[in-house]
Amino acid sequence: MSEIVLESLGKTFGDFTALADMNLTIANGEFMALLGPSGCGKSTTMNMIAGMLRPSCGAIRFNGQDVVDVPMAKRGVGFVFQNYAIFTHMSVRENLAYGLRAQGVPTADIKKRIQAFAELLQLESMLNRRAAGLSVNILQRLAIGRSAILEPAIFLLDEPLSNVDAAFRAVMRSELKSLQGQFGQTMVYVTHDQLEAMTMADRIAVMDHGKLLQVGTPLEIYNNPADTFVAKFIGAPGMNILQGRLSQSADVASVGVPGVGSIPLSPALQSAVRQLTGPEVQVGFRPEQVNVAGAGLTMHVGLVERIGARTIVHLERGETTAKAVLPADVALPKAQSDWTFAVPQEDIRLFDPKSGQALKARTH
Amino acid sequence: MTNVSTMTPVADQPEAPAKSGARLGLWLTLPAQLLVLFIALFPILMQVYISLTDWSPLDGIPWWRAHELWIGLLNYSDLIADSRFWGAMWRTLFVMAVCVPVQFLLGLGLAVLFVDDFRGKRVLYSTLLVPMMVVPAVAGYMFFMLFQSGGPVNDLLSIFTSDPVRIAWLSDPDLALIAVMVADIWQWTPLMFLILLAGMISVPQDQQMAAILLGASWWRRFFTIVLPRMKSIIIIALAIRVIEIFKIFDTLFIMTGGGPGVATETISVYIYKVTQQELIWSYVAAIALAILIVLSVVSVFAIKRMQRGQET
Amino acid sequence: MTSIRFENVSKYYGDALAVDQVSFEVPDNAFFCFFGPPLSGKSTILKLILGLETPDSGEIFFDGRPMRDVSPPDRNVAMVFQNLALFPHMTALENVRFPLVERKIDEATIRARVAEVTEKLHMAHILHKPPAQLSGGERQRVAIARALVRDPVAYLMDDPISALDARLREETRVELRRMQQDMAKTLIYVTHDQEEAMSVSDQMLILDKGRVRQIGAPHDLYDTPNSAYVASMLGAPAMNMAGTSDAVSALSNALDIDQGTMTVGIRPEHLKVVRKDGPGRVTAIEPLGATTVLSIEAAGVTWKASLRGQPKHEIGAPVELSVDAGGLHCFDAQGDALSAA
């Protein structure tokens, strides 16, 4: 088992900076998701942990030991590729045995371990089948088993569910999660799907354009995003971010969104806005936090998406757009008409209009 | 690192075999098929016909009347008893048995070298391809000069021995064949190299990465991943060379003329001599046909293996 | 306006039935979605509509006119491909004009039609650009405009957005919906993503190995599925299915179960979970932010409950389960739905 520490890790390809100054500690046995859109640097980070890429700067430590100079084959890291990279010209058994044979494990032990893992992964009936042409479900388990059988301390998974049908993904997610529970390895999981990260990870590292934006548990990131990117990326749909203006009347501070309405600010937020230099501020609230019984904000209803258990209402007013998510049992707002709603004070988040950083209440 | 593999795990919807479309295709290509058949089949049929007669152009009758000199399978029985023929056959097989493996191993070694980038790769690549592009006859003359008793090969060998080396390569019946084989290896290793390099590059990168991450050494990877996945290409490369080397002629003939004596007389040289010098065309037809059958068997075997290989 | 109708259409691929006695009618100007797992016949049906395949039995009608001997170009159905297939060397405008120029339509008509389509799709600002300079969404609009400029009976899309990032998929499906509403043309759409299908469609057709299982508006199919199959196809997490006796032991409220019920289905959002001594035990917690999905073991069945917000629960803690009124679905031995009393 292993703790992974990334210290000031960076990677450039010529002029292009794929990753800059990444600092992250992944605890022993933790399931850490590296989450971000394509090109954010998550795969680059993972490839460096595995040893497939050499960092341009910074250090990578497994349990305190610097591994940057340790070759790929010796890092003791399990890796599941996006396309699984199964040796299709071999049988399932040969795939499982590959790593053990490469490391000179005695044949009798190999046989025992294959039997144990095949049972665990429900691959027993497939052992002698050729790996080519097997279903994705089986290939995923084989890809994991092939690495897991070596009992590595660290497991890296590169978007392993991206090739899988929407329908199967849920099944595979729970399989992966239970496997990790069983083996207890430190797992690093790369994905662009925030749902996957939220469902499976102990902690999520949100990345964009080569930078680490925030690390935290799924709920920490969901409830207190560090900036507008994280706020919008997490959640389906993501947080609504509206351009607002602070106004100070005699007793209460509120933030107004032109044409929409105004939201009174809680004391905590009132202290947070003192950091701002101007009256402009970005207001955030999550679509599902909308209170249909309240008032204070009015927008025009555009499209209404009824999707099973919930309804997504698309709202607009001039240049401003927002979405609201209502449970299926709530009365639908009428399309092409105005709709009034409120957002509870404690659910409002404020962000700096220039940097996008979340404004946090100062504790004086 | 992503999207490198060509394997798509999710099954696609099966394509409908458009029956009417296929039949139309058959009719449309029929003229071309007939043409190819004619070009390929006609000479063979002609050969079969003549080989069953005792005809030669000196007989004064046109070839289609060769049936007037019908001798049935006599040419073939003569062939079986012809010791010179068997000598030529043996020598050809010997050359093949030595040259093809050597070319293969050298080509494979070079391919391994060229899979990764290194300084001067492009220059070296172009240089390596030069032998293949040299006109075979020119190569023959070049090696003729190289292997002279006062020539560069001997000078090179003299560096390693105390006494100057003065081997008469091309006039020594035991050594002439070696000289010829060296020439062939020089000329055709690049072809092997090219084909094997193409095969090696197409081995999926991510599978090799996966093997490394599982702890496999270079050698293990080479023998368990790279070579097995190159099976089809290797068979094609070997089949091409086997068929071509069986027909070895140009370079060899310029170098030695088949000599000294019959020391380097391969099948092609033998056929040439019989045709030009003794003009027994009908007999030659029989020889050629016999060889055609042998080479066809090799080709069919290779094609079958290739088709099976495509199912990986 | 043209309605597309299939009457008992079947199609074999070799020995296997790809499409099995399929009958449906696509309403005018509807966003009509074929939904089902891979290899359920969706793409085959598209090909049958286009005329690239002919039915082995049954008839296809466009506006009452049988299409058996009508060739694909004459059917006037346009297809938008997943890779869009835009001509890279032409501008957006030239791409859109192309089908009409090909057919040698007169210039005045071309201009009129192109203007109509590009206006409806809000494309004026991108017409002069080549595809390489356009964003993914803009390119999609060009592809759709090109399909629509022929004034087709309907346009077809086969799984056009599954290859996109999750975020982009959400945005693009809304775009597609808007575009279809603006164009007021029948759009026939194939997907295997249930959320996407429910979001965009006016009507959905659920396929199971080439057979039609149910046709209707998405929320009707979701609320009143006619079979366990349809019920489990829509909704994520999938509907909980359990044998009648297991359900009765697991749930603490009185259940109104129909006669002949073999299987009981309850959607995760209709399952109420209370922290109390009960037959259930929490085995997993998935915090999704807006909702929390709990996995609960009760009566030997694993139940998934989708709770709003972020209620506190602990793994291993005992819980009591109950179901909302109207949240109970009953299915008989064949898997067909029994109507609640």
How many domains is chain C built from?
2
Containing B256, the helix (H) or strand (E) segment is helix B250-256
- Let me know whether C305 and C188 are in one domain: no
Confidence band, pLDDT 50/70/90 cuts, at residue C167? confident
| Cα–Cα distances in angstroms (integers) from residue A313 to residues A123, C33, C307, in the given order | 45, 21, 20
Which chain B residues touch C39 with a CB distance below 8 Å? 11, 13-14
Tell me what pLDDT residue A363 has.
55
Tell me what pLDDT residue A268 has.
84
Both tokens of A346, joined, read 């404690």
Indicate whether C335 pLDDT > 50. Answer: yes
- Let me know whether C30 and C176 are in one domain: yes
- Let me know whether C254 and C138 are in one domain: no
User: Which single residue is written with the structure tokens 């209502």?
Assistant: A326
Domain ranges across chain B: 73-309
Indicate whether B50 pLDDT > 80. Answer: yes
B2/C contact by beta carbon, under 8 A: no
First to last CA, chain B: 23
Contact A50 B312 (CB under 8 A): no
Tens-place pLDDT, residues B206-217: 899 999 999 899
- Asked if residues B96 and B246 have their Cβ atoms less than 8 Å apart, the reply is yes
Both tokens of A338, joined, read 């105005």
> What is the pairing mode between strands A77-80 and A154-158?
parallel
Q: Which residues of chain B from 15 to 44 reach within 8 Å of chain C, CB to CB?
A: 16-17
Question: What percent of chain C stands above pLDDT 70?
Answer: 99
Phi-psi region of B172 (alpha: psi -120 to 50; beta: other; left: phi over 0): beta
- Asked if residues C72 and C52 have their Cβ atoms less than 8 Å apart, the reply is yes
Tell me what pLDDT residue A362 has.
62
Tell me what pLDDT residue B154 has.
87
C232/B contact by beta carbon, under 8 A: no
Mean pLDDT of B229-251: 89
Interface test with A, best of C162, C164, C169, C170 (most A CBs within 10 A): C170
Indicate whether B172 pLDDT > 80. Answer: yes
Nearest partner of A209 among A5, A20, A14, judged by Cα: A20
Indicate whether B306 pLDDT > 70. Answer: yes
B241/A contact by beta carbon, under 8 A: no
Mean pLDDT of B102-127: 90
- Let me know whether C165 and C66 are in one domain: yes
- Let me know whether C161 and C215 are in one domain: yes
Which chain A residues touch B217 with a CB distance below 8 Å? 73, 102
Which chain A residues touch B213 with a CB distance below 8 Å? 50-51, 72-73, 75, 77-79, 147
Tell me what pLDDT residue B8 has.
37
Tell me what pLDDT residue A296 has.
86
- Under-70 pLDDT residues of chain A: 1, 249-252, 362-364
Residue among C13, C38, C39 minimizing CB distance to B16: C13
- Asked if residues B51 and B290 have their Cβ atoms less than 8 Å apart, the reply is no
Tell me what pLDDT residue B4 has.
35
- Let me know whether C290 and C162 are in one domain: no
Rounded Cα distance, C327 and C341, in Å: 13
Neighbouring residues of C161: CB distance < 8 A, sequence distance ≥ 6: C168, C169, C172, C173, C176, C196
Residue among C167, C233, C269 minimizing CB distance to A309: C269
Judge whether C235 lies within some domain: no
Within a 10 A sphere around the Cβ of C148, how many other Cβ atoms? 24
Tell me what pLDDT residue B10 has.
37
Residues in chain C: 341
Judge whether C323 lies within some domain: yes
Indicate whether B78 pLDDT > 80. Answer: yes
- Let me know whether C137 and C31 are in one domain: yes
Mean pLDDT of C303-310: 93
User: Which residue from C minimizes the CA distance to A163?
Assistant: C163
Indicate whether C136 pLDDT > 80. Answer: no
Rounded Cα distance, C190 and C42, in Å: 6
Rounded Cα distance, B311 and B230, in Å: 13
Nearest partner of C267 among C296, C294, C303, judged by Cα: C303
Q: What is the ipTM of this complex?
A: 0.86
Which CATH number characterizes residue C301's domain? 2.40.50.140
Helix, strand and coil percent figures for chain A, each rounded to 5: 30, 35, 35
Burial of residue A353, with CB atoms counted within 10 A of its CB: 0-12 exposed, 13-18 middle, 19 or more buried:
middle
Tell me what pLDDT residue B5 has.
36
Provide the domain limits for residue C148: 4-227
> What is the pairing mode between strands C301-308 and C291-298?
antiparallel
Rounded Cα distance, C85 and C95, in Å: 10
Both tokens of B98, joined, read 């030595």
Indicate whether B2 pLDDT > 80. Answer: no
Mean pLDDT of C250-255: 84
Range name among A341-355, C161-175, C263-277 with the lowest pLDDT average: C161-175
- Let me know whether C262 and C222 are in one domain: no
- Let me know whether C160 and C25 are in one domain: yes
Contact C198 A195 (CB under 8 A): no
Q: What is the pTM of this model?
A: 0.81
User: Which residue from A minimizes the CA distance to B220?
Assistant: A102
- Let me know whether C143 and C272 are in one domain: no
Compute the radius of gyration of chain B from its Cα atoms. 25
> In chain C, at which residue ranges do the beta strands (DSSP E only) sit?
4-13, 16-26, 31-35, 57-62, 65-66, 77-80, 154-158, 186-191, 203-208, 211-216, 240-243, 263-266, 271-287, 291-298, 301-308, 318-323, 328-331, 337-338
Nearest partner of B189 among B282, B92, B99, judged by Cα: B99
Nearest partner of C95 among C49, C42, C150, judged by Cα: C150
Contact C286 A198 (CB under 8 A): yes
- Let me know whether C271 and C156 are in one domain: no
Which structural domains are found in chain A, ordered by start? 4-223 (3.40.50.300), 233-351 (2.40.50.140)
**Amino acid making up residue B64:** W
Rounded Cα distance, A325 and A343, in Å: 12
> What is the pairing mode between strands C203-208 and C211-216?
antiparallel
Judge whether C143 lies within some domain: yes
Residue A140's SS3 state is helix
Indicate whether C305 pLDDT > 90. Answer: yes
Tell me what pLDDT residue B309 has.
63
Confidence band, pLDDT 50/70/90 cuts, at residue C121? confident
Contact B16 C43 (CB under 8 A): no
Confidence band, pLDDT 50/70/90 cuts, at residue C117? confident
C180/A contact by beta carbon, under 8 A: no
Residue among B10, B11, B13 minimizing CB distance to C43: B13
Judge whether C232 lies within some domain: no
Phi-psi region of C210 (alpha: psi -120 to 50; beta: other; left: phi over 0): left
Judge whether C233 lies within some domain: no
Interface test with B, best of C13, C52, C165 (most B CBs within 10 A): C13
First to last CA, chain C: 41
Which CATH number applies to B73-309: 3.30.230.10, 1.10.8.60, 1.10.3720.10, 3.40.50.1860?
Answer: 1.10.3720.10
**Amino acid making up residue C113:** R
Rounded Cα distance, A190 and A196, in Å: 10
Which CATH number characterizes residue C217's domain? 3.40.50.300
Judge whether C176 lies within some domain: yes
Range name among A108-117, B46-55, B297-306, C321-330 with the lowest pLDDT average: B297-306
Tell me what pLDDT residue C71 has.
86
Neighbouring residues of A117: CB distance < 8 A, sequence distance ≥ 6: A96, A123, A145, A148, A149
Within a 10 A sphere around the Cβ of B211, how many other Cβ atoms? 24
- Let me know whether C222 and C245 are in one domain: no
